[in-house]
Structures are given as structure tokens and as C-alpha cells.
Amino acid sequence: AAHKYGEYKYYYHDIGIVYDNKPYAVTIMTLEGNRDFVNKVRDINSHIYELHNLYYSNREKSCRLEVYGE
């Protein structure tokens, strides 16, 4: 992944590109974290990554079933 973050007072933003088999971009803009922004963003990003993988896994299974009936 490549990312850039910005922090000012209680604002924290992170934007990045995840170079996965199916690359995607992610932007996180938050006021949450109480100076624990890095861990909050890691947690959010891990959930996004799980959803990304689940989406493509389900898509592959569903499309294969619809097209090939397997």
C-alpha cells in the first residue's frame, strides 16, 4: 500500500492505494481516536480489507454459479 496522512488538532485523514490482486483506494477522514488516530485507522482499514475480500469472493462464487451452474 501507498498512503498519505494528515493531522491537525483533532482532525486526522488518511488516503491510500492498496495494491492487492484487486487494487482499491481508501480514504478515511475522522475526528475520532483521541490522539490514537493511527490505531483507529488501522482498525477501520482492516475491516475495509475484509469486506473487499468478501465482496470479490462472493462475486466470484455467485457469477460462476450463474454462468456455469456449478
pLDDT of residue 67: 80
Predicted local distance difference test score (pLDDT) of residue 52: 92
- Residue ranges with strand state E in 1-70: 2-8, 11-18, 24-30
pLDDT at 64: 75
3-class secondary structure, 12: strand
Q: What are phi and psi of 10, to 5 degrees?
A: -100, 10
Q: How far is CA 17 from CA 4, 8, 14, 29, 35, in A?
A: 10, 22, 10, 15, 24
Per-residue pLDDT in tens (0 to 9) along the chain, 70 residues = 888 988 888 788 889 998 988 898 999 888 876 678 888 888 988 999 999 999 988 888 887 777 877 6
In whole angstroms, give the CA distance from residue 2 to residue 24.
11
0.85 cut: is pTM over it? no
pLDDT of res. 7: 84
